[in-house]
Each structure stands twice: as C-alpha cells, then as structure tokens.
Structure 1
Amino acid sequence: MTFTLYPDTRLALARDSLAGLSVGDALGAQFFVPGRPTRSWQAELPAGPWVWSDDTEMACSVVAMLAEHGEIDQDGLALSFATHYDPARRYGAGAVGMLELIRAGTPWPVVAASAFDGQGSCGNGAAMRVAPLGAYFADSTSRVVAQARASAEVTHAHPEGIAGAVAVAVAAARAVRARLDGDRPDPERLLASVAAAVDPVTEVHRGVRRAAGLLGRPLPEVVDALGNGSRVTAQDTVAFTCWVAATHLGDYPAAIRACVEAGGDVDTTAAIAGGIVAAHTGVATDGGVPADWLAAREPLPDWA
C-alpha cells in the first residue's frame, strides 16, 4: 500500500525498533564471551540488568538525530557518535580509532576513507545501528536507502559496510509496512525486496539471495552458508540476520533465541534481528519484545 507517516508515528515506530535492538544487544551479550564457546539458551534467562553495548549507544545517536532533525545530518551524526562514545561499551578496535580521531577534530570523511589502509570499513557496525532508521522512513524505500547510506558513510566507506546498512534498513521498513497492513509478508518475498535494494555487485546482496534459498533449513546449515558475525563483517552478519528476521518476523523471542544458538557475534546479530522484528511486532505485544525483557535491559541514556 502507499501511505505517508506522520512524524509522531515515525518516531514511535523507530523507538519500537530501538527497543528490540537494545534488548537483543543486551541479552545477546549475556551469552557472548569472546574467546569462549557461546553458552546455550536456558529456560531461565540471566538476571538483570542486562548491559547494552556500542550497538545500542550508536543506535541511540541515530534515533536522537531523527527525532531532532527528521533526517540524517552526517556532520551531526559523526559528532554525536564521537561525543557519546564510551569505550566501556565494547567498541571494536577499528571503531575506537575512528571515534578518537573524530573526537580530536579530524573530519569524518577523512577518517572513514582512511580506515583499513584506505579500503574503508566493511564491518557490521553500520548495519547494527540502522534498523530504527528503516522503521522511521518505512513509507519510502528510496529515502530508506538514501538515509541508510548517509548514516553508514560516517564510519563505513567500504561498499560492503554501506550495503549492510541498506539491507537492514530496508528489512526494517518492510517489517513496518507489513505491520501497518496487518499482514506478515512471505519470507522469500521479504528477502527478495531487501536484495533488490542492495548494490548487486556486493557480497551482502549475494548473501541475502542465498538466504532466501535457505528458508526452512536447519540453523546450523544456515550458519555454515551465511556466517554468524564471527568475522565481524557485514558480509558474514547481514544475510544471516535477515534470514532470522524473515523466519521469525512475528516472534521476537524466537528470533533472539536463534541468534544465541547460532553463536558468533551474538550481541550484534541479536541487535540487528531484534531491531527488524520489533519494528513489526512492537513491544509488550503477542510475539513482541517481552515486557520483562525490556525491564531487565539497562535503561537507555537520558540524552536518547
């Protein structure tokens, strides 16, 4: 359907997605210990508070930017990332270096372009923070793509890093469209729409297309084919999280459990899948983000 969202509705949808992203991040982190095998999902979840990571901190900057300006201002977003950057939030080494440079006054285009010996970052950081943006612009795929690209370019100059952000944002937008239609889209159709929006020369595009062929397959087979974020790149993270979201779009707890059981970069995969699924289900609804999980998550920062 064709529709236009009012500003308050946009922000409410983005905040639902942020809730799902932050809970997935914080809960996923309870099962992720670097250098050790991922713990199995248990009937009794760890006691709160569940502390969120850089995934949530950067997503809060994205949502705060949209709330204040209604679109991405790249200079402002770079400043927000650098101002609110807290190294205790488990930022990766590459992100630490970039944000320290931006905080010291180096222009973000120079920082982003010079990362990784001039290749730019193809990490999953731009994808991990972008689902609320897709929810916010759900009434226009062209704006989703353009704004996701703008949000990614602040830190990710590599085409794969940008493609990862576009894919996740489009998936979240499609999730919102289905929510407003009162529908649950066919998983294969959802993944096809994501692939269609992503640069076809990228591995992210090819991965999303592979994910469509793996619908209904066992989780270990999917991880073997798509990855689970263990390489911390968009290429081995985004297709898997899109598969999880397409498979469990109406069941937020099932989506988070799939990410935990897959292992790898659990907090980030759960943040991405959680942000997409919550854009569809909402919070404290049947199949949505459970109220007790939201209560167990560390509160979001006041500035957000």
Structure 2
Amino acid sequence: MKNYTITTFVLLGLTDEPQLQVLIFIILFLTYMFSVMGNLTIITLTFVDSHLKTPMYFFLKNFSFLEISFTSACIPRYLYSIATGDKVITYNDCVIQVFFTDLCGVTEFFLLAAMSYDRYVAICKPLHYVTIMNSRVCLRLVFCSWLSGLLVITSPLSLGLNLEFCDSNVIDHFLCDASPLMKISCSDTWFMEQTVIICAVLTLNMTLTCVVLSYAYTIKTIFRFPTVHQRKKAFSTCSSHMIVVSITYGTCMFIYMNPTAKEEVTVNKVVSLLIFSISPMLNPFIYTLRNNQVKKAFNDSIKKIASFLNK
C-alpha cells in the first residue's frame, strides 16, 4: 500500500458506546482466552499422549495452531484498542495484520480439505490407511496448505501494496481488511476488487469441492457397513470435522456471496467477529466433546498432574 501522506490508520471498531465496549471487551477477552487455552490443550495432548499420534490428530494439532494464529492476528490488538481508547494503528502494522489474517484464513480452507481427505482414506480405505497417510504425506499436505494460502493471497496483497491513501485514514472496521481499505483508498480499486473476489471464490469452490467429494464417498461407504454400531462409530469420527466445516464455510460464504452483507457494514463486522473470535473458541470444544479419545487423553493427563501434585 503506497502512501505519501498517511502513515497511520484509525480503526473505528464495532461501537463508540462505552457500556457496549465494556461488554464487547469482556466477551472478546473470554472467548480469546478459551480459544487459546482450548487449542493449546489439544496441541499439548497430541504431543504427550501416545494414542493421539495418528494422522488425524496430526492434522488437528496443526489446525489448532492455525486457529491460535488466526485469532491472535487481530483480537489482542482490538482488545488493546478498547482498553486504552487508542484506535490508531500504523501503516506497517496494518499491512502485517492484513497479511497474517488473510494467510491464516485462506490456509484454513486448504487444511480442512486435507483433513476431509484423511477421513475419506480412514473409512474408505482402512487397510491401506497407514500406508497412504504416512508421516511424509501428512507433512506435505500441511505444507501445501500453507503454501497454497500464501500463493492465493500474493496477488491481492501485491495490488494492495500499491494502493494510495490521500484523504481519509479512518477504517470502518475493528481490523485492517482488504474491503474497508479499498473503500478509503484514492486509487482505482476495481481490478483489486475483482482479484479479491476471484481468489475468494476459487479458494472456496476448490476446497469445498474436495470436502464434498471426500464426504460423499465417505458417507456412501458408511451406509454400506453391515451393522448400526459400525455406522455410528464411523459417523462419530467425521461428525466433529463436518460441524467445523459447516461453520467455517457458512460464515465465509455469507460475507462473499451475499450481496446485502457487502453493503451492510455492521453485519459484515459482526460476522467477521464471529469468524475471528467465536469459531476458534468453538472448534476445540467441538472436537473434544465429540471425541472419546481426546476426552480420555485429557482425563488421563489431569489424573497424572493430580497424582504428581499430591506427591
């Protein structure tokens, strides 16, 4: 983002009402702490528990790290802004925030697609699961997810770095994002807007196609299982991931494919807040509450800590 006169931006946030700001601060602080602690718990359990050394939990560990990075890219800065009243963010900090929020956001879709493929192999090809989903393949899938995210945001980001800001430096949002930045730029943003939309639609369509195909074959295979117990067990291994996929894709499609949401700034900000704060908090609880292995690993860890403290 080239700029010759503006070196800082002002983030308006969600509201100027003091009472509402206090409420928002409390809610965001709690959701952020629960999000970080919940995802850190999953990461820790996958490291210390030998039963969670499978590809499924390797992906879950990386997904939890991604969620922490995603919410940490903007929520602490907004909490600081509410607590101190300082709404000013420097140009460089704004660029950094755009980079990390976009990178983590786009990478999440590719990682969810990789996790869907893992569930497909586990249920449709159980005898070859260990061979197909070996450690090298898992590492490559995670690396490719991050690389794909980086490649997708490269074009919009490079165009954004050429934006000029001449008059206004007030961003009607609680974080630096492409859409509100383009609104206050004095450059011609038509090409960048089209690039952002194309990248968003391609990412959503590509990854969603992989997810849908993976689960179409997976569900088809599950219905062929001879007993209800087998079908129920198979569904339980996929249900958590399917819920997370539904939340993630649903909120993003609302922003990018709902014309009304594009015009309604308030609605857009609220949905963004759900994506950056509520979803990262819910995901660890969704995975742990619906997963017996994770719950068992958590209980075992608590017992070990308790016995250690009693010594």
Q: Give the TM-score of the pair, scaled to structure 2.
A: 0.33
Q: Give the TM-score of the pair, scaled to structure 1.
A: 0.34
Q: Which has the larger helix fraction?
A: 2
Larger radius of gyration: 2
